[in-house]
Structure 1
């Protein structure tokens, strides 16, 4: 993707992502509450739009130009909301960095991005000091939240914005112009840069046309809005003119404080969050009656866990979703209604498409195959990686390596990653099938299953054994032997664990939210693979 520093102003500003998700709301409903930060700072749509416009003028004073690549390493959620949206309005191409990367990964990603400016805040300052000498291509260092220290130098974004106008800046970039690079969490090499355009991000932002939202909705979330979390979570909330409640910590403990305080109505979480939340009795005294809509995705949803959620939140509608960084929120649907398959993630969103293909590439219904996603929300490609792009973009379809089953009604049931499938006894199975049964065992709060080679040093390295790690609920007595006996009665031989480990917790990604991230199956293999014997 070529940089275009001389990009022309958008003919239609509503095709600009930043303008469409925020300025449009400020024009239509200026006094509506837009954002609350940690219960301390509150912005109407008009006030938030003016704050963003001051940021945009300050960035221009710091030398940021339309079409320029600007790396953003931000940790404070309100700063993410303001600076990202300001960059989007300005027409800069934002490289949305993960503040939990190690210095080597960060330096490699920024160097490959072609960014010539980097904006950061206090939470990222130590990391910035470590990588600055390794990034000669970055010529502008810009700090939000106060002046930079002498080791980094550069511009003070707050000072540049102190007397900046709060009027709309010239709007650049729209439609198929590149908006940002959002990064995958690939298992090997550097994270891949996913190019989304203004148009693809706006397509994702229309989420609340498919799930009831409305202007009375209060959407709560934590620090996961950096990266793809912004167009997948914060952007849709603002586009839907909801009240976005931002916290730094969105772990179970703070969740139980914030939901009653702000009367949060909508949340989007991974199922593992509720495994942790409901594992002990701490949630029982919290008033969660304001929650009307729970959206779950990122991991398979076990029916037993769904039952626990509904027991605790009988008033809430529960929706499933499925998508990837390359095609966020592709599928959604209600899963707590008897009319739906509870293992389903729903159907393709309005204007989107999903299919499942067999080994020959032909569409398959009612049979397991590769999930294909299409629609205006799909990425443009991987930046600077034409071969990797060609592997996953097949015509209009994105094919990312996940397996699923599509029924005749268009409901998608996600089985998991093709690479996670387990071959035992000559039959393939997905870890989720083992985990669903394990969650039905008395006392089990959460679990993770992986396959490990039966004979990794021999000729037969394909046949696998199954290792299952389980985390007990608070106060429950759970033993490896007891879980193994229970599963022997519930599962066929090819799905029975060869080893059960009782663990204090499961390895999960760190996303700065304070809550559990996605399950790290590779780490499970490293920790417990030797138990397979």
Structure 2
């Protein structure tokens, strides 16, 4: 088998340059009605690199992308990789004050937005440009500002970061995770050797997931660096995904379980020509057996599960297509650790757990982050003697399969998004009628965890005036919509232990017994 690009090169830039040379006229990005070849994309990268240099962006400087999926993002991340800058990608679903916190934390030289966020950025008085052709003059157009230039010489520092994603903290304060060329190349090298496999020119990967998530950002690069094409949706919609499957020649499709559930229930899928689809890679949250089995039946292709965190750069554990087959496939397992990584499970005493013993999962290897951006105390909590402590409880069986059984932290994963109860609770407590609250996840076939809240109202408040719709409206300006509760219970008091801790298990049982939540 030929060496993968990830074995031949040690930077994103060098691997991309090889594909430009080998496949200059092959499609690289399919975006809306535009087809961009590798040669086109390289020219756009160089124009943006020249523009960044004209703005005095130096190696190590941060630039921000705050926007939905866009071909200009792809060119921008390649430009950053070429000149040694670091592209900070902001979750566009965040509320404005959450975005401002990331902008303050990352201290970017400049900000690029998609047109939906041009006005908020301009009103905030920050220096920025808008992707594409512009947004009615609110901000200058990035494409118009980009300069014709000869090929820009690469910086070529493989140990330097080129991308920075943010992961939420238990207090709701986001933490930046700088990711280096070496982090990504090590992760992709493991992917190519795993159930994800080596891809090639002719492969078309649907990127329907947002590029502010590791899975969207990673599969964009993983595809391009092997000469494949990215079919890029601005944001997920069933119609857009179905069109890509029917007309776009999609061969690979990374999804979160929520989208597998949604698409596999859509009767239109069965009428489409998706014979070219070879594999679905899924992860980001737990998946019900019913959803997985329905998806495997409907799509009739290989399925690979991935387990990862922003701190691991990309998938650290994967359940291969072969592990999905047979009479009793281990579908509840997360999979096997990727090549190049070590995995251990530590028990409560800090000792390595025995086979089958539940403890905290830890990972070590070249794809693990070096630390959080300007968060030494937070870094010290999760990096111990080179091991990244995931905060997930799990075990390894005698065959090497890793199973995640619970979370040692309170984080919920709803529709592929990480949500912390404390952040939602803090926002709910700003409501003038709510005295106490507890937020928790309820197992849900579609969402993984359905975010639910129990609230105790202030004395004299009529419960009829506080319902799910009004609470979600109240939260609109405070936290991102995906963090909003989808179920609300009004209680006289919260169940607590003798020491005063809320008993979330009791609340989960009560929520499951309650009538079906509103479809919001």
Normalised to the residue count of structure 2, the TM-score between the two structures is 0.76
Q: Find the aligned partners of 2:117 and 2:400 in 1 and give their Cα distance.
A: 44
2: distance between equivalents of 1:43 and 1:147?
Answer: 19
Q: Contact between 2:50 and 2:146, CA under 8 Å: does it hold in 1?
A: yes
Deviation, structure 1 residue 312 = 0.9
Please say if residues 225 and 233 of structure 1, whose CA atoms lie closer than 8 Å, have aligned partners that are also in contact.
Answer: no
Q: Within the alignment, does 1:195 sit opposite 2:178 as a pair?
A: yes
**Aligned partner of 1:320 among 288, 305, 310:** 305
Question: Which of 239, 251, 254 does residue 265 from structure 1 map onto?
Answer: 251
Deviation at 1:79, TM superposition (A): 1.2
Residue of structure 1 equivalent to 2:37? 44
In the alignment, is residue 158 of structure 1 matched against residue 143 of structure 2? yes
**Alignment map for 1:338-357 (pairs within 5 Å):** 338=326, 340-357=329-346
Corresponding position: 1:226 with 2:199: no
Superposition deviation, residue 110 in structure 1: 1.2
Aligned: 1:371 with 2:357:
no
Matched, 1:209 2:204: no
State whether structure 2 residue 107 is matched by structure 1 residue 107.
Answer: no
Aligned match of 2:231 in 237, 242, 245? 245
User: 2:484 matched to which residue of 1?
Assistant: none
Residue equivalent to 1:503: 517
Q: Deviations over 1:379-405 (max 9, x none)?
A: 111111100000001122111211222
Alignment of structure 1 residues 97-496 onto 2, 5 Å: 97-132=90-125, 140-146=127-133, 156-161=141-146, 164-165=148-149, 167-206=150-189, 207-210=191-194, 211-215=196-200, 216-222=202-208, 224-226=210-212, 228-229=214-215, 231-314=217-300, 316-327=301-312, 328-334=314-320, 335-338=323-326, 340-364=329-353, 365-420=355-410, 435=443, 448=450, 455-456=495-496, 459=499, 461=501, 463-466=503-506
Deviations 1:211-255 (A, max 9, x none): 234213211012512353454221111122222111113232321
Inter-partner Cα distance in structure 1 for 2:259 and 2:101:
31
State how far apart, in whole Å, the 2-side matches of 1:44 and 1:147 are. 23
Q: Contact 1:300–1:415 at 8 Å: present in 2 too?
A: no
Listed as ranges, the gaps of 5+ residues in structure 1 are: 1-12, 423-430, 469-494, 507-533
Aligned CA distance change for structure 1 residues 244 and 294 (closer, same or farther; 3 Å)? same
Q: CA offset at residue 346 of structure 1?
A: 1.4
2:122–2:128 CA contact under 8 A, matched in 1: no
- Note if contact 2:208-2:241 (Cα within 8 Å) is conserved in structure 1: no
Aligned partners of 2:451, 2:402: CA distance in 1, in Å? 22
The counterpart of 1:34, out of the listed 6, 28, 31, is 28
CA gap 1:260/1:196 in 2 versus in 1, 3 angstroms = same
Retained in 2: the 8 A contact 1:205–1:235?
no
Q: Is the 8 A contact 2:257 2:283 kept in 1?
A: yes
SS at match of 2:59: coil
User: Residues 31, 188 of structure 1: CA spacing in aligned structure 2 closer, same or farther, 3 A cutoff?
Assistant: same
CA RMSD in angstroms comes to 3.1
Deviation for aligned residue 1:447: 6.9
Distance 2:138 2:411 in 1: 48
- Tell me whether 276-285 or 25-34 shows the greater mean CA deviation: 276-285
Counterpart check, 1:73 vs 2:66: yes
2:120 aligned counterpart, secondary structure:
helix
Cα distance change on mapping 1:161 and 1:376 into 2, 3 Å: same
CA distance in 1, matches of 2:100, 2:449: 35
Write the distance in 2 (CA, Å) between the matches of 1:496 and 1:371.
30
Relative to structure 1, the CA distance from residue 156 to residue 332 in structure 2 (aligned partners, 3 Å threshold; closer, same or farther) is: same
Displacement of 1:144 in angstroms is: 3.3
How far does residue 343 in structure 1 lie from its aligned partner after superposition? Answer: 1.1
SS at the partner of 1:182? strand
CA shift for structure 1 position 274: 1.7
CA drift of 1:467 comes to: 5.2
> More displaced, 173-182 or 331-340?
331-340
Find the counterpart in structure 1 of residue 474 from structure 2: none
Whether the 8 Å CA contact 1:74–1:121 is kept in 2: the answer is yes
Q: In 1, distance between residues paired with 2:176 and 2:251?
A: 33
Matches within 5 A, 1:50-89: 50-89=43-82
State the distance in 2 between where 1:209 and 1:45 align. Answer: 25
C-alpha contact (below 8 Å) 2:121/2:128 kept by paired residues: no
Q: SS of the residue aligned with 1:236?
A: helix
Q: CA deviation at 1:457?
A: 8.3
Deviation larger for 44-53 or 335-344: 335-344
In structure 2, relative to structure 1, the CA distance for the partners of 1:394 and 1:32 (3 Å cut) is same
Q: Distance in 1 between matches of 2:166 and 2:89?
A: 7
Report the CA distance between 1:420 and its aligned residue. 4.2
How many residues end up aligned between the 2 structures? 440
Q: Counterparts of 2:39 and 2:10 in 1: how far apart (Å)? A: 20
Shift of 1:318: 0.8
Structure 1 residues 87 and 217: CA distance shift in structure 2, 3 A: same
Give the deviation of 1:125 after TM superposition. Answer: 0.2
Uncovered stretches (5+) of structure 2, i.e. residues with no partner: 1-7, 413-439, 455-492
* 1:371 partner SS: strand
What secondary structure does 1:225 align onto? coil
Aligned equivalents of 1:457, 1:61: Cα separation in 2: 61
Offset of residue 279 of structure 1? 3.5
